[in-house]
Amino acid sequence: MANPLGFLKDATQVLEMAYKDLAQPGIQQVGLALGNTLSLANAVTLPLKGWSEQKRMTFENNMECVRKKLEHTDESKIISVPPEIGVPIIDKFTYVSTEEISNLFANLLAKASVTDTASLGHPGFLKIIDSLSIDEAKIIQKLATNWPHGRYIPFINYRAFFTSPEGESYRYIDAPLTGIEKGLNLLFDENMGLYFQNLASLGILEFQAEGVLSPTRIYDELAELYQPSKEDMHTQLIVSEKFERIGMDRGHFTLTDYGVKFIEACF
C-alpha cells in the first residue's frame, strides 16, 4: 500500500517506527498534528539508530496512546502542534513509561492538536507534569473525575498541646487529613503532607487554614474516618506524658483557576 502520509517528509521515518500500519485510523490525524514536530524531533532528539528495545517499546506505547486520542477527531479540526509543546513531549515519549504521567503528556499533546482545545496547550503545563509524582497524578485524577466536593478539599488537622515555660503551646502531628487518598493505592501514603505542599507550590491547590466549608458534617465524617489514627496518637503522645491533649482544626484546600485549566488540558 502506498504511504498515505507521503505529504510528510522527515517525519515519515519516525511514524513508521511508531506504527506498524500507517493506514490504520488516527494516523492521518497524528501526521497532520505532529508532522512538523516529528521533523524537528527527528533532527534534535530522536536519533533512531541504537535505541534499546525498552526505549522503542516505550515510544511506541506513548505514540499509540496519542493515536487513540485523535482517531475520532475530524481531520479538518487538526492543527500543527507548536514545537515548544510538541518537541519536549516527543522527547519524553522515549523514556516516560509510567501510565499516570505519560498519559498527562499524551492528553496535553492531543488537546494542543485540536482547534477546539488548542488554547489549553500552554507550555507551562509541561513543567507541572515534570514536577508531579505518580501519587500526585492519581490525586489530581480523583479531583478531575469523581471527587464529591468539587473544587474544595475539606481537611481536619490534629495538633498536640503541651505546657512550656511560656505557657500552653502545640505542634501539628500529622498532615492535613482529607480522605482523598482512600482507594487510590498510593505508593507512599505517608507522603500526603509533602504531596499537598508540592501541589500548593505548583499553584494547583490553595491552602485555607481556617476556612470551614458547609455543611460542617463533612468534618465530622472525616473525624470518624480517622478516629483510629487519633486513638493511636492519644496513646503515643498523651500516655507517654509528652503532651496533655489533642485538638482538631478544620480547613480546606481549593483547586485554583490555574489548577482547573491544568486539569482541562491534561486529564
What's residue 140's pLDDT? 98
- Surface-to-core class of residue 41, CB atoms within 10 Å of its CB (0-12 exposed, 13-18 middle, 19+ buried): buried
Residues 240, 243, 249, 255, CA torsion sign: negative
Cell triple for 153:
478539599
pLDDT of residue 230: 74
pLDDT at 254: 98
Per-residue confidence (pLDDT) for residue 239, from 0 to 100: 64
As given in the structure block, the three cell numbers for residue 236 are 503515643
What pLDDT sits at residue 96? 97
Per-residue pLDDT at 228: 82
Return the closest-CA partner of residue 101 out of 112, 113, 89: 89
Q: What is the CATH number of domain 138-266?
A: 3.30.110
Q: Other C-beta atoms within 10 Å of 193: how many?
A: 13
Grid cell 468539587 in the structure block, residue? 150
Residue 18's SS3 state is helix
pLDDT of residue 203: 98
Q: What pLDDT, on the 0 to 100 scale, is given for residue 1?
A: 38
Backbone φ and ψ for 65, nearest 5 degrees, come out as: -60, -40
CB neighbours of 224 closer than 8 A, spacing ≥ 6?
A: none
Residue 216 three-state SS:
coil
Instruction: Name the burial class of residue 82, with classes exposed (0-12), middle (13-18) and buried (19+) by CB atoms within 10 angstroms of its CB.
Output: middle
**pLDDT at 9 (0 to 100):** 58
Q: Which amino acid is at 18?
A: A
Q: What is the pLDDT along the chain (267 residues), one digit of tens a residue?
A: 344 455 455 677 788 888 988 899 999 999 999 999 988 887 767 776 678 999 999 999 999 999 999 999 999 999 999 999 999 999 999 999 999 999 999 999 999 999 999 999 999 999 999 999 999 999 999 999 999 999 999 999 988 888 888 888 888 888 999 999 999 999 999 999 999 999 999 999 999 988 899 999 999 999 999 998 777 777 777 666 677 888 899 999 999 999 999 999 999
Instruction: Work out the angle between the directed axes of helices 83-92 and 27-44 (0-180°, nearest 10).
Output: 80
Residue 114 DSSP code: B
**pLDDT for res 241:** 64
The β-bridge relationship of strands 245-255 and 167-172 is unpaired
* Domain range summary for the chain, segments of one domain joined by +: 12-130, 138-266
Residue 80 is given by DSSP the state P
| Alpha-carbon span 22 to 35, nearest angstrom | 14
C-alpha separations of 145 from 148, 152, 175, 228 in Å: 9, 13, 24, 28
pLDDT tens digit sequence for 138-194: 999 999 999 999 999 999 998 888 888 888 888 888 899 999 999 999 999 999 999
Q: Is 23 helix (H, G, I), strand (E, B) or coil?
A: coil
